[in-house]
Structure 1
Amino acid sequence: MDALLLSLILCALVEGVGNTARRYAGLVARSGYDGTGAVTVGMVAACAANALIAALVGLWIAPMLTPEARALFLAAGLMMAGGGLLFVSRRFDSMEGGATVRAPLLIVLVTLFVTGISGSAPLLIATIAVYFADPWMAGIGGALGSAAGCYAGRVAKEAVWIRAGRFGMGALLMLGAFSMAMGALRLI
């Protein structure tokens, strides 16, 4: 249950201020469907596919590591996710004003799958799955959190608080990673 809650909360916060939510908002703007129906189903399916792949990676890696190595692995994942949020590109193609999307489910699924697999949420899901040795709960929580974060990020649009949230989340993740790494290395 710990893996489910931690991955749900972290993925919701990270995806809410990340690139996948911005890409989803751009696809909604181009689809003409206002985010309902096929566009939202495509987003949820892409988040679930990314979470499944991350959970399988966690399932594969978890038996190979000692408990200290698992904590250090989670710290490295938190550090990379935080760095990804701190150093996100300012310029982003919002995809507004382009041609209308003809097959929204397939286009949204493929676009958000590719955008999301390189994001912070699958990395967090995989590292949480390794740390708790519970990949299925980490995957379920990550899928739910990623979908909720994408939807919340689309509703919020690109506001000033999104940028502040991105910086705050990145700094918080890096601080948590530092303290976890110090604990894993038994320096504190």
Structure 2
Amino acid sequence: MDPLVPAFVAVLLAGASDRPPLLAAILSDRSGRGALWGAIVAQAAGFVLAAIGGMLVAPALTPNARDLMLAVALIGAATSVPFPARIKDRLGDWRLPPFLTGLLGMAVLTLGDRSQFLVFALVARTPDPVTGAVGGALAGAILLLTSATLGERDWLTLPLAAVRAVATLMLGLTGAILGLGALRLL
């Protein structure tokens, strides 16, 4: 099974209430579409790096270790999803062009975040870095485009608490089942 659809679904679930869409909404309100395209490029590059890392690590792991790593990634995402996203630095004092502000701001924000760890673990489980990176990047781009189109005020009025509850349940349950199977307890 290639990781395209699992990466797409996992990134949508884990990222819907995360900081990248909120930052994209903030930057889009302030700087327009240039910052959005920079943010999308940065996030896609992060998923590509995560997929390459997963491909490189995969040969060193047993199948059960790969499943257990994916279970840890899913449970880790499930434990962080319930908390609302907060942005400490709104990048208001950055004097770069909008594209570079979006690119560098998103790169710093998403380096090693839960969505990238999910793509890393999915690709390590099924070593196909292209489809894993594409699935994660598509889901991330959809989230960024949606939040940027809505803007910060409208993005925050969405029922994100319900999204967080559903995502926590789905990611946690999937991770628990996969982890128990990897440990041969199920």
TM tier, smaller: 0.7 to 0.9
Following superposition, the deviation at residue 63 of structure 1 comes to 0.4
How large is the Cα RMSD of the aligned pairs?
Answer: 2.2
Q: Identify the residue that residue 107 of structure 1 maps to in structure 2.
A: 101
4+ residue runs over 4 A deviation: 98-102
Q: 1:19 to 1:51 in 2, by over 3 A?
A: same
Contact 1:69 1:184 in 2 (8 A): yes
1:9 and 2:9 matched: yes
TM-score when normalising by structure 1: 0.87
Q: How many residue pairs align between the two structures?
A: 182
Q: 1:102 to 1:70 in 2, by over 3 A?
A: closer
Following superposition, the deviation at residue 159 of structure 1 comes to 2.1
Written as runs of structure 1 = structure 2, the 5 A alignment for 1:57-72 is 57-72=53-68
TM-score when normalising by structure 2: 0.87
Q: 1:71-98: per-residue Cα shift (whole Å, max 9, x none)? A: 1111011011111212445x544849x5
Taking only the aligned residue pairs, the percentage that are identical comes to 28
Gaps of 5+ in 1: none
Q: 1:163 to 1:151 in 2, by over 3 A?
A: farther
Gaps of 5+ in 2: none
- Match for 2:134 among 123, 137, 140? 140
Q: Identify the residue that residue 86 of structure 1 maps to in structure 2.
A: 82
1:26 and 2:22 matched: no
Q: 1:14 to 1:40 in 2, by over 3 A?
A: same
Which one-letter code corresponds to 2:52 in the other structure? Answer: L
Q: 1:115 to 1:178 in 2, by over 3 A?
A: same
